[in-house]
Every structure is written in C-alpha cells, then in structure tokens.
Structure 1
Amino acid sequence: MASQKEMLRRRASRVRRTVKAVANGRPRLSVHRSSKNIYAQVIDDAQGVTLAAASTLDAGLKKDLKTGADIAAAAAVGKLIAERAKEAGVETVVFDRGAFIYHGRVKAVAEAAREGGLSF
C-alpha cells in the first residue's frame, strides 16, 4: 500500500494534469498550505517561470496577521496574489488546488483572488 505522502503526490499530479489540460495557455494559480502558513504562486507553464508569488511569510503580511494558518490570513494572501498578478499583466488564470480539497483556507484564497480582480 502506498504511503500517505505518495497518495498526496499522486492526487496533486492528477489535479495538475487536469488543470493543465483545460488551461488553454492561461497561467495557473497554485496554492499550497502547511500547518502554519499558506503560499500562492501564479505560474506560466509554457515558459516554466513564476510570474507572481505571495505567502503569509511576506514581510508586509506577517506583521499584520495574528497567525499564518487561519482563513483571514488565507484571504489576505488571495488579495495580495491578485494584486501582484495584475501588476505582472495577468488577468485570467486556472486554479490549481494541488492535493488539497476546495474548502477552508484554500477556498478563502480563491475567493479573495476573485475579489481582487483575477478571473477563473
């Protein structure tokens, strides 16, 4: 039987494969969450570069947040990633939730990014 880590890796690659298939050249908004922080990146897979990134470890966010592991912190990261993506000239993305279910902090990042002006 596969280990927990291997199962998460398989699920993430399965989701990523599906997201890339429907992307039609759009960059992907990839989200990763740990027990203490949340991270978001806008990635152009055609060129293999990160166009924008944000996390709860950013200096501007870290001092304003009580903790990096709650929904308020995730919403702040979503707004920041939308702002940075717009500065990089990105308006539309595809959402890559990785191995995480679309619930809680991952959902908060997505909704805040939509409110910030990204469309997906």
Structure 2
Amino acid sequence: MASKETTQRRSARVRRQLKSVANGRPRLSVHRTSKNIYVQLIDDAKGQTLAAASTLEKDFKAGKKTGADTAAAAAIGKLIADRAIKAGVKDVVFDRGAYIYHGRVKALAEAAREGGLNF
C-alpha cells in the first residue's frame, strides 16, 4: 500500500501536468474511498467549485445499494455531466488524482463523456 506521502506526491504530479494543458478549462476532480466516490468541477482561476456530486446524496442513495461499484461511479459521472452542462461548462480537464485510470475512476470518466463533457 502506498504511503500518504507517496499518494500526495503522485496527486501533485498529475495536477501539475493538468495545469500546463488546462488553458482555462475547469478541472473535474475525482476522489474515491472504499465505500463512496466523489467528484467536483473546480474553476482553479477563481478558486471555486462549480458543481459537485457524490454517492452520499439522498437522491442517489435512495435507489442504490452501494456507492462502491462501477455502476455507482457511472451514475455519478452522468450526474456531474448534467450539472456541469447546467452550469455552462462542456470542456474540462480530468483530474484522476493519485488513482489509476481503471475501474470506478474509468467508469466515472466514460459516463461523464457520454453525458456530454469533453476531455
């Protein structure tokens, strides 16, 4: 298991790379735990969150058994895409954080693309 320092270093490396290619686009940041997944659309220039979604929301929890599978991640991906488009954002950069692009993170990204986001 990676140490906290290693995880933070990897996350910072990914974010530094994203900053160089962002060109003013907001960042779609993903955080996952063993039981839930969270996603935020962040405008780094203004330092504010434009939209957010997670498996802890009441509307989401009502219909799902768990927030820890790829189906839940895909549902959150579609939800964040809808909220981003309502906020007037179509082009984003995907910040996977310290997580590899696989499993729940990949499912969320693909669902967000299907929902209308470009990255």
State the secondary structure of the residue aligned to 1:117. Answer: coil
1:69 aligns with 2:68: yes
Measure, in 2, the Cα distance between the counterparts of 1:78 and 1:61: 12
Partner of 1:110: 109
What letter corresponds to residue 106 of structure 2 in structure 1? K
Shift of 1:90: 0.4
Measure, in 1, the Cα distance between the counterparts of 2:19 and 2:42: 11
Shift of 1:65: 1.1
Give the alignment's TM-score, normalised by structure 1.
0.97
State the secondary structure of the residue aligned to 1:63. Answer: helix
Shift of 1:66: 1.2
Measure, in 1, the Cα distance between the counterparts of 2:15 and 2:57: 26
Shift of 1:48: 0.2
Measure, in 1, the Cα distance between the counterparts of 2:114 and 2:61: 21
Gaps in structure 2 of 5+ consecutive residues: none
Q: Percent identity?
A: 73
Give the alignment's TM-score, normalised by structure 2.
0.97
State the secondary structure of the residue aligned to 2:35. Answer: coil
Measure, in 2, the Cα distance between the counterparts of 1:72 and 1:47: 33
What letter corresponds to residue 78 of structure 2 in structure 1? K
What letter corresponds to residue 100 of structure 1 in structure 2? Y
CA RMSD for the aligned pairs? 0.8
Measure, in 2, the Cα distance between the counterparts of 1:45 and 1:116: 23
What letter corresponds to residue 98 of structure 2 in structure 1? A
1:34 aligns with 2:55: no
Gaps in structure 1 of 5+ consecutive residues: none
Partner of 2:79: 80
Partner of 1:23: 22
Q: Which runs of 4+ in 1 moved over 2 A?
A: none
Equivalent pairs counted in the alignment come to 118
What letter corresponds to residue 79 of structure 1 in structure 2? K
